[in-house]
Amino acid sequence: MQAGALRGPGCPPISPDHWGDGCGCASLTNGSEESDRKRGMIVLPGRVLVIGDSIRLVSKAKSAGIDVVYIQKPSQFDPALIPHCQQLALVDYQHVPSAAAMAAALHRIAPITRIVTQTEAAQLVAGHLTDTLGIPGTSERCARLLHDKSAMRALLNEQGIGPVPYAVNPTHAQLREFVVSHGAAIVKPTKGSGSLGVRRIESVEDVDEVWAWCQSFELGEFQVEKHLVGPELSVEAFSESGRHTIIAVTAKDTDGGTVELGHVIPAPLAEDQLDQIRELTVRLLDAVGLEDGPSHTEIILTAEGPRVVESHTRRGGDRINDLVRMVYGVDMEEATYRLVGEGAPLDGHLHPARGAAAIRFLTAAPGVVTSVTGLDAARAVDGVVEVSVSVEAGSVVPELRWSDDRCGHVIVRADDADTAARLARTVAGHISINTEPVTGDCPDPDASEPDTLSSVLRPYDEVFDPFHGAVTAP
């Protein structure tokens, strides 16, 4: 992708020699720095390269007193971000040579202090650029170990950290043999998030159907692992110089499926269970070498003890950060900027749990939305913080394949976790998203095409592994 170059007052040009294929730049600079620029490279107290995040996330840098250098794909750029950025570059950051060349050019203009991204698609690139620029932050090794589920599982099994049987890219026969040996299993891409491409195999009788789906969905590189049974949880942590603070443990609800439909904080668990979960999380983060910033680790509390499902070098999605802030007082998105800005990341913000908070997601039967009702009734319930619906009459609701196929959410507060979870479910029940089956006159031109992994990701202009088949810049 390519976009034209825009330069604000006092902004030095970035030579096209530093652009990779498909790279365009829009650079905005404060003119007050012109005298410093004439003397050479600027040294700023905090200059953070933010990759791919939304305006809601980028705007939080202001509270830390730092400058934002922002990189985004042209297809995903929101012009409302311009006032929040000291410099801005439009480049396909998943085209690694372009991203590396642009980051190096921006770093030469004025040193980048740290790279920040809460965007899953940017995690690997951020780690690579951190190493390339030689600055503090999450390394490429750490990012890859957590982004690549097979690499993480291999490391944990090798070190005896909650081992789980698994296999990568099994043949049809090997998949069957795995289920025969280990029972119910989960098939999933080795990379990705949001439950995209995740399928459960209950028994050997399901193997043929799931194998056929893997081929038709063009799943690519995938793994199968033993199905873990028990409460589903996530651990929200923040690290500083290799010291890990467990901020919250979140309880999850999937209603028996693979897509998460609700979260509540704090998880209603016994203290000894929480201790096991905290210990496992710290061992994981130490093993992958996470030094600084937020992390989100998904865990299942099995009869044999807690087991890691996956982990990420970012805060949790699904508005979990907002639940953490409501209950514990810390905003992990703001705290990430405070790593290089004003104030210690957690000091003065984190406090003991105050009540509980929950989110419940809205779903609907696949089809064309005919009406949405009950919003006023839902908003009128005591304890409701937010009600949001992302569809309207005429929208097409697909089959529930991953998190982005949900239709909205409700957020509530209550005195305790059990009450909050029940309240969220009750409030969500007030809302009806009515649909009718898609007909031949369906307004969605792609609805008749069979789903593949690539087709689902296409609207997001995203790939799971930007390094696959790519040659990185030196």
User: Tokens 């705290």 — which residue?
Assistant: 335
In this structure, the answer to whether residues 378 and 436 fall within a common structural domain is: yes
Least Cα distance to 98 among 471, 377, 350 occurs for 471
Domain boundary among 306, 339, 354: 354
Q: Supply the CATH number for residue 119's domain.
A: 3.40.50.20
In this structure, the answer to whether residues 402 and 448 fall within a common structural domain is: yes
Range of the domain at 423: 360-460
In this structure, the answer to whether residues 292 and 234 fall within a common structural domain is: yes
* pLDDT of the residue at 464: 81
Q: Is 466 a domain residue?
A: no
pLDDT tens across 258-301, in order?
Answer: 899 999 999 999 999 999 999 999 999 999 999 999 999 999 99
Written as tens digits, the pLDDT of the chain (474 aa) is 333 233 332 333 333 333 333 333 434 443 334 334 334 444 445 899 999 999 999 999 988 889 999 999 999 999 999 999 999 999 999 999 999 999 999 999 999 999 999 999 999 999 999 999 999 999 999 999 999 999 999 999 999 999 999 999 999 999 999 999 999 999 999 987 777 889 999 999 999 999 999 999 888 899 999 999 999 999 999 999 999 999 999 999 998 888 999 999 999 999 999 999 999 999 999 999 999 999 999 999 999 999 999 999 999 999 999 999 999 999 999 999 999 876 789 988 899 999 999 999 999 999 999 999 999 999 999 999 999 999 999 999 999 998 999 999 999 999 999 999 999 999 999 999 999 998 765 555 444 566 888 888 888 788 888 887 544 333
In this structure, the answer to whether residues 407 and 385 fall within a common structural domain is: yes
Amino acid at 321: N
Say whether 358 sits in a helix, a strand or coil: strand
Q: Supply the CATH number for residue 180's domain.
A: 3.30.1490.20
Structural domains of the chain, count: 4
Say whether 57 sits in a helix, a strand or coil: helix
In this structure, the answer to whether residues 19 and 129 fall within a common structural domain is: yes
* pLDDT of the residue at 444: 52
In this structure, the answer to whether residues 186 and 285 fall within a common structural domain is: no
Q: Is 150 a domain residue?
A: no
Domain boundary among 211, 226, 241: 226
In this structure, the answer to whether residues 56 and 106 fall within a common structural domain is: yes
pLDDT tens across 291-308, in order?
Answer: 999 999 999 999 999 999
Q: Is 143 a domain residue?
A: no
Q: Is 113 left (phi over 0), alpha (psi -120 to 50) or beta?
A: alpha
Q: Quick one: which H or E segment has residue 296?
A: strand 293-302
433 forms bridges with which residues in the sheet?
Answer: 372
In this structure, the answer to whether residues 262 and 311 fall within a common structural domain is: yes
Q: Is 73 a domain residue?
A: yes
Least Cα distance to 472 among 1, 132, 72 occurs for 132
* pLDDT of the residue at 91: 95
89 forms bridges with which residues in the sheet?
Answer: 71
Say whether 33 sits in a helix, a strand or coil: helix
In this structure, the answer to whether residues 280 and 386 fall within a common structural domain is: no
In this structure, the answer to whether residues 127 and 15 fall within a common structural domain is: yes
Least Cα distance to 265 among 296, 292, 227 occurs for 296
Q: Supply the CATH number for residue 450's domain.
A: 3.30.470.20
B/e letters for 62-72, b = 16+ CB within 10 Å, e = fewer, are eebebbbbbbb
In this structure, the answer to whether residues 285 and 215 fall within a common structural domain is: no
Query: d(Cα 315, Cα 275) in Å, to the nearest integer?
Result: 21
Q: Is 451 a domain residue?
A: yes
Both tokens assigned to 214: 């893997």
Say whether 164 sits in a helix, a strand or coil: coil
In this structure, the answer to whether residues 132 and 71 fall within a common structural domain is: yes
CA angle (56, 57, 63) in 5-degree steps:
100
